[in-house]
C-alpha cells in the first residue's frame, strides 16, 4: 500500500477516505482534520486559554499534543476518579506528558469534591458507575474552567464516541439529547463554558495511530467499569457496519449534524438557574452534583465505605 501524498510505503490505511498515508503524511492529515474542526465550528482562537480534559488515554493526550503544537494556550485538567490502579496509572501518564511538553496540568480529586471516589459513589448511589462519574466530570470540568478564567473546555471525543452516542440516542429516540449532540456547544449562561470536541472528525483508530506515531505514552488499559457500558456495545455494532461499508460511521454522524440535527432544535429555551448551594448552573434549585455529593457524604459519615474491587 502506498501513501496517497508521497507514494512512499503506507503506515495506515483509511478505508473510509479510500486512502493510505505514510507516518509523516498521516500526522499532517490528522492535524488538518483538527484545524478544520476548530475553524468550521469556531471552537476557540489563539487568544483564548483552552482547558483540555485529559484522561491519560490516547484521544485526550493526542488532542492536547496537537493543540500545543498548533500554538494554542492549552492547559490540561486531570480528574482523579479514584478508580483503583486505572486512576493511578492514567494520572501518571498525564503528569509525564505534561512534564515532557512543559505544559500546565491541573489535577482535581473527585473524592475531595464528591466525598468519595467513583467506586464509592457507585456503591452509595446503587447506580451504574458511569452515571455518577459522568455527572461529576461534566460539573468539575466546567467549574475548573470558570475558576481558572477559561472560556472553553475541549474534550477528546472522537468520531466513534460521537457516532456511538448518537446511535444510543436514536435507538431510544431521546429527542432532548439529540440537539445537545454537537462538536461545539456554545455557552448559554455566563457560568457555563463553551464545550468543544476537536477530534470529532477523526476515528478512534486514527487517534490511536496518531498517539502511537507521536510516541505518546498513553494508557491502553480501559477503566474497569467500561466493560459493561452500552456505548461499547454500540461501538461494536457500528464497527461491524463500518467493516461492511467503509464510511458508515462518518456518514451516520455527519449526516445527522448536517441534515437532521436542526430539526430537533427546540424553540423554547430551558430556564437556567444558579444552584442554591454552589452557584453552578442547574435547571432546578439545587444542582445534581450537590445532591450527589450530599448523598455520598452522608453515607460516608454513617458507615466507612469499603469499596469492592
List of residues contacting ligand SF4 (CB under 6 A): 81, 118, 129-130, 133-134, 223, 225-226, 229
Considering the complex, what minimum distance in angstroms separates the CB of residue 13 from Zn ion? 13
Q: Please, which residues have CB within 8 angstroms of residue 88's CB and are 6 or more apart in sequence?
A: none
Considering the complex, what minimum distance in angstroms separates the CB of residue 110 from another protein? 14
List the single partner that 118 binds among another protein, Zn ion, ligand SF4, none, CB under 5 to 8 Å by kind: ligand SF4
Alpha helix ranges (H) inside the chain: 23-40, 58-69, 84-101, 110-114, 118-125, 129-147, 159-171, 204-213, 230-244, 248-255, 261-264, 288-302
Considering the complex, what minimum distance in angstroms separates the CB of residue 276 from another protein? 26
Considering the complex, what minimum distance in angstroms separates the CB of residue 28 from ligand SF4? 31
Q: What is the CA radius of gyration of the chain?
A: 20
**Distance, C-alpha 82 to centroid of its chain:** 18
Mapped onto helix, strand or coil, the DSSP state of residue 51 is strand
The three three-digit cell numbers of residue 129, written as one number:
458507575
- 215-230 burial, b at 16+ Cβ within 10 Å, e below that, comes to ebebbeeebebeeebe
CA distance 256 to 250: 10
Query: Which one, of 67, 236, 70, 114, lies nearest residue 163 by Cα?
Result: 236
Considering the complex, what minimum distance in angstroms separates the CB of residue 129 from another protein? 8
Alpha helix ranges (H) inside 172-229: 204-213
Applying CB under 5 A, among 1, 2, 6, 35 the residue interacting with Zn ion is 6
Applying CB under 8 A, among 125, 182, 231, 251 the residue interacting with another protein is 231
CA distance 44 to 292: 32
Distances (CA, A) of 97 to 78, 90, 209, 223, 290: 12, 11, 17, 19, 32
From residue 15 to residue 34, the character string flagging contacts with Zn ion as x (rule: CB under 5 A) and all else as - is -------x--x---------
Considering the complex, what minimum distance in angstroms separates the CB of residue 135 from Zn ion? 11
Residue 129 or 183: the one with the smaller Cβ distance to ligand SF4 is 129
Considering the complex, what minimum distance in angstroms separates the CB of residue 306 from another protein? 23
Applying CB under 8 A, among 152, 153, 208, 293 the residue interacting with another protein is 208
233 scored as a contact of Zn ion (CB under 5 A): no
List the single partner that 5 binds among Zn ion, ligand SF4, another protein, none, CB under 5 to 8 Å by kind: Zn ion
CA distance 174 to 189: 23
Q: Could you tell me if 5 and 21 are in contact, meaning their C-beta atoms sit under 8 angstroms apart?
A: yes
List the single partner that 290 binds among another protein, Zn ion, ligand SF4, none, CB under 5 to 8 Å by kind: Zn ion
Residue 135 or 281: the one with the smaller Cβ distance to ligand SF4 is 135
Contact positions vs Zn ion (CB under 5 A): 3, 5-6, 8, 22, 25, 275, 277-278, 287, 290
Contact positions vs another protein (CB under 8 A): 1, 10-13, 15, 20, 23, 55, 57-59, 130-131, 133-134, 137, 155-157, 160-161, 203-205, 207-209, 212-213, 220-223, 225-227, 229, 231-232, 235, 239-240, 242-243
Amino acid at each position: 500500500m502506498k501513501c496517497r501524498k508521497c507514494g512512499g510505503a503506507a503506515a495506515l490505511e483509511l478505508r473510509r477516505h479510500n486512502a493510505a498515508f505514510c507516518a509523516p503524511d498521516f500526522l499532517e492529515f490528522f492535524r488538518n482534520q483538527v484545524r478544520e474542526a476548530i475553524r468550521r465550528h469556531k471552537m476557540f482562537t489563539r487568544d483564548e486559554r483552552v482547558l483540555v480534559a485529559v484522561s491519560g488515554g490516547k484521544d485526550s493526550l493526542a488532542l492536547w499534543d496537537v493543540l500545543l503544537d498548533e500554538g494554542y494556550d492549552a492547559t490540561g485538567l486531570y480528574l482523579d476518579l479514584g478508580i483503583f490502579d486505572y486512576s493511578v496509572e492514567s494520572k501518571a501518564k498525564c503528569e509525564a506528558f505534561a512534564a515532557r511538553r512543559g505544559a500546565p496540568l491541573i489535577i482535581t480529586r473527585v473524592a475531595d469534591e464528591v466525598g468519595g471516589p467513583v467506586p464509592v459513589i457507585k456503591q452509595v448511589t446503587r447506580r451504574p458507575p458511569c452515571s455518577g462519574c459522568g455527572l461529576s466530570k461534566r460539573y468539575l470540568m466546567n467549574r475548573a474552567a470558570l475558576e481558572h478564567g477559561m472560556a472553553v473546555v475541549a474534550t477528546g471525543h472522537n468520531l466513534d464516541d460521537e457516532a456511538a452516542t448518537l446511535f444510543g440516542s436514536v435507538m431510544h429516540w431521546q429527542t432532548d439529547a439529540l440537539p445537545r449532540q454537537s462538536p461545539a456547544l456554545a455557552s448559554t449562561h455566563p457560568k457555563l463554558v463553551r464545550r468543544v470536541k476537536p477530534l470529532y472528525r477523526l476515528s478512534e483508530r486514527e487517534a490511536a495511530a496518531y498517539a502511537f506515531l507521536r510516541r505518546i505514552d498513553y494508557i491502553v488499559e480501559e477503566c474497569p467499569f467500561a466493560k459493561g457500558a452500552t456505548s461499547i456495545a454500540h461501538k461494536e455494532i457500528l464497527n461491524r457496519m463500518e467493516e461492511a461499508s467503509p464510511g458508515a460511521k462518518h456518514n451516520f454522524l455527519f449526516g445527522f449534524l448536517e441534515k437532521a440535527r436542526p430539526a430537533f432544535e427546540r424553540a423554547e429555551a430551558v430556564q437556567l438557574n444558579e444552584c442554591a448551594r454552589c452557584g453552578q448552573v442547574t435547571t432546578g434549585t439545587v444542582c445534581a452534583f450537590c445532591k450527589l455529593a450530599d448523598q455520598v457524604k452522608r453515607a460516608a459519615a454513617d458507615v466507612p465505605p469499603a469499596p469492592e474491587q
